[in-house]
Structure 1
Amino acid sequence: MEVIRSSHHSAFPMEDISRVGEARRHAVTLAMRAGFDEVKTGQLAIVVTELGTNLIRHAQRGTLLLAVREQAGEVEAISIDHGPGMADIARSMGDGFSTGGSLGAGLGTVRRMARDFDLHSSVPGGTVIVARLAREAGPKAAGALEVGAVSVPKTGELVCGDAWAAAMADPSATLAVVDGLGHGFDAAEASAAAIDVFAAEAARDVTQMLEKMHLRLRSTRGAAVTLLRADASTSRLRSCGAGNVSVRVVSGAYDRSMLMQHGTAGLQMRRPEPIEQDWPQHAMIIVHSDGIGTRWAPEVVLPVLGRDPTLAAALLFRDHSRGRDDATVAVLRRRM
C-alpha cells in the first residue's frame, strides 16, 4: 500500500513580471527538497518561467500554483487563468510559440520537460495547465486508480489548515480530506494529526479510522474529516465523516452527493455511521473542504473526466474557491 500525503500549493498571482522571478526561485527551493539534480532543476526553472510569463502576457487573473511531494521526488506546477482561453491549442503547443520576454521555449518544450503534462482550455473561460517534473527518469508506475488534488492556504497564511492523503492499494484506494478548524498553524496542527492517524491506520475500515482520529485530535482544536474507500473491482464506495467536507460523485450521466454527519473530530462527534453507494464506471469522486463552494455544476468538470484528476481539482479551485479560507479539492478516478 502506497500512502500519498498532501503538500499544500503556494499561490503566485501573476500581477507583474517580478512575480515570475519569485515563483522561479520558490520552484528551485522545492527542487532541492525533491532531490532534483542540476539539470532537472534547470528544467523546472524553464517550465515555471514559461508558464508564469504566459500568464502575464496572455491571461486574465492568472495564478501559478507550486507544490512538492518529497516522498515521490516530484514538483508540480499548475497554471490557472480566467481567460481568454486558447483558440488554437495545437498552435499554442508548438515549440517556440511563446510570449515576448520569456525564454522562448514554448508550451511544447514544457510538455517535453514534464513527466506528466495535461491542459484544458475553453474560450472565453480560460486555461488550466498541469505539469509535473520528477527526480527519477521514466514514467511513474500506473495503477488502476489515480488521485490528484489542489490545496491552497488562505491568502496571507504561511501554512494550510486543510490536508489530504490517499492510500493506494489496487484495485482500491482510501482518501482522506481534513479541514482543521479555522486557519493558520493551529488548524494545520489538527489536520496534520489526523493525517498521521490515516497514514498509520489506512488499512482499517473508515469508521474505525475516524474514531481513532477523534481520540487523537482531542488535544487539538479539532477538524472536519471525510474518509472514503473506493473499490474499482466492486464499483462500490464506503464513506464516513464529521463536519462539512463534501463528497460528490460525478459523470456525464450521474451526479450524487454523499452527506456526512454533523460534528467535529476531536471535539464532539457521534458514533460514525458509514454511507455506501455505487461507483459508476466513468465517474470521478470529488472531495473538498468548505473553502470551495458547494453549488457548482457538474459541467465544470465533465470536459476533463478522463484526464489528469488534478485538472478537475484546479478547475473547481479556480471557479469556486470562496477566497476567504483554506481550500482543498481531491479527485479520485479510475485510470482510463
Structure 2
Amino acid sequence: MTGWVRAEDPSAVGAVRRKAVALAEAAGFDQVLIGQTAVAVSEAVSNLVKHATDGTVIVRPHPEAPATVELITVDRGPGMADVARALRDGYSTSGTLGIGLGAISRIASGYDVHSLPGKGTVLAMHFTAGRAPAPPLRASGLTRPIGDETVCGDGFAIAEAGPATTVLVCDGLGHGHIAAQATQRAVELFLDVRDQEPVDIVRRLHTGMNGTRGGAVAVARVEPGQVHFAGLGNVSGWVAHAEGRQGMVSVPGIAGHQGGRLRQYTYELPGYATVVLHTDGLTDRWDPALLPGLFSRTPAVIAAGLMREAGSRRDDACVVTVRPPQEPTRPAPPAQETGRHGEV
C-alpha cells in the first residue's frame, strides 16, 4: 500500500492497519503498543468507511520523527458540531464520526481534530514508542499525486534545529517519475545545505538541479517572531492566521534552468500565525476566514484541511505548514532532518 487510500469499502481498514503495523514494527514498538496502534487505526478508518463522504486516509512515518507512526484521515462530511462531546466514550449519533474517538484519543500518543458541520472532519494522530522523543508538532507536509497516479512529482523536506524550522517545497516539472526525480534531487541538496540562509539554499538548488527536469522551489526558515523566505518559481508562500493571510514573494524562473536575481525576504510572524507553502496543485483562493478554527490546530491538521479545501485532482499537490515555537527553547540540539518526495 502506498500513499493515500480511499476509504470506500471495508478492505481499506485492513490495508491501512497492515501498513500501520509494519511501520510500528520497524520503529521498534513493543507488542502491546503495536496492538493498540492497530486498534486505533482500524477504528479511525472504519469510521470513514461507515459514515464519511469522500474519505481518504494516509499512514506514514511522522515527518518530524521517523520513529513515530502518524495517521491522518480527511473527509467531506457530515462533520461534527461538538468535537468535545464526540470525544466522550460511548457517544454515537447516526451519520457522524463520533463513534470510537474517545478510545482513539486515549490510545494515541497525540491527536488533533478539526470538524465543521457540512464541510467534514480532519483527524491526525500519532504513536511513539516508549522513550523515543515525541515529535515537536511544529511542522508538517502532505503530498498527493495527480488523479490515480502513485508517484507525486511534488515534495517537501523539513529540518529542525533549536528554535528554527527550515522547510523546502519543490514542484518538479511535469508529473510522474521524471518530476519526482527532480524533486528528490532538490530534497537531497536541501538536506546538505539546510543550515545556510534560505536564499543561498535556493541558489544551491538552482545550480544543482541542472541535470534534471527542474522545478519551482521555495525555502522558508521559521523563527520566533519572523520568517525568512526565498523562492524561485510558482510555489506560493503565506503567513496565515484566523483573520487572513499575507503573501510572500518569489522570483520567476525554473530551478535548474532559468531564473533572475534571487532574493530573500523577511516577514513578521505573530505567535498565533502559521507559515504555509504550497505548489500550484492547490489553488491560491483558500480563505482562512471561511475555515473557522482550522488555523488554531496542529500543522498536520492545517495541512490536511488545506489539501481538502484547495487541492486539485488535476495536478500533483504539496502543502507544508509551520508554526513558530511557542516557548523559549534550550540551546540547539543536533539538527533533525526529514525529506520525502511524495507519499510513495
- Band of TM-score, shorter chain: 0.7 to 0.9
1:325, CA displacement in angstroms? 2.1
Q: Which amino acid aligns with 2:30?
A: D
Q: Which amino acid aligns with 1:122?
A: L
TM value normalised by structure 1: 0.88
Distance, in Å, in 2 between the alignment partners of 1:255 and 1:90 is: 28
Distance, in Å, in 1 between the alignment partners of 2:59 and 2:296 is: 23
In structure 1, the residue matched to 2:318 is 328
TM value normalised by structure 2: 0.86
Distance, in Å, in 1 between the alignment partners of 2:62 and 2:121 is: 24
The one of 289, 306, 321 aligned to 2:296: 306
The one of 233, 239, 257 aligned to 1:243: 233
Larger RCO of the pair (alpha carbons < 8 Å, separation 6+):
2
Does structure 2 conserve the Cα–Cα contact (< 8 Å) formed by 1:115 and 1:139? no
Does structure 1 conserve the Cα–Cα contact (< 8 Å) formed by 2:242 and 2:292? yes
Moved over 6 A (4+): none
Query: Do structure 1's residue 266 and structure 2's residue 256 form an aligned pair?
Result: yes
1:332, CA displacement in angstroms? 0.8
Distance, in Å, in 2 between the alignment partners of 1:116 and 1:78 is: 12
- CA distance 1:153–1:40, shift in 2 (3 Å): farther
Give the SS at the match of 2:37. helix
Query: Do structure 1's residue 18 and structure 2's residue 6 form an aligned pair?
Result: no
In structure 2, the residue matched to 1:154 is 146
- CA distance 1:254–1:97, shift in 2 (3 Å): closer
In structure 2, the residue matched to 1:140 is 134
List per-residue Cα deviations over 1:230-254 (Å, max 9, x = no partner): 221xx22221111111101112345
Distance, in Å, in 2 between the alignment partners of 1:325 and 1:124 is: 26
In structure 2, the residue matched to 1:40 is 33
1:287, CA displacement in angstroms? 0.6
Query: Do structure 1's residue 78 and structure 2's residue 68 form an aligned pair?
Result: no
1:167, CA displacement in angstroms? 2.0
In structure 1, the residue matched to 2:46 is 53
Pairwise CA RMSD: 2.5
1:215, CA displacement in angstroms? 1.7
- Unpaired stretches in structure 2, ≥5 consecutive residues: 327-344
In structure 1, the residue matched to 2:191 is 199
Q: Which amino acid aligns with 1:22?
A: A
Does structure 2 conserve the Cα–Cα contact (< 8 Å) formed by 1:213 and 1:266? yes
Query: Do structure 1's residue 215 and structure 2's residue 207 form an aligned pair?
Result: yes
Distance, in Å, in 2 between the alignment partners of 1:60 and 1:32 is: 31
Distance, in Å, in 1 between the alignment partners of 2:22 and 2:153 is: 22
Query: Do structure 1's residue 176 and structure 2's residue 155 form an aligned pair?
Result: no
The one of 223, 244, 247 aligned to 1:257: 247
1:224, CA displacement in angstroms? 0.9
Q: Which amino acid aligns with 1:118?
A: D
In structure 1, the residue matched to 2:220 is 228
Give the SS at the match of 2:237. strand
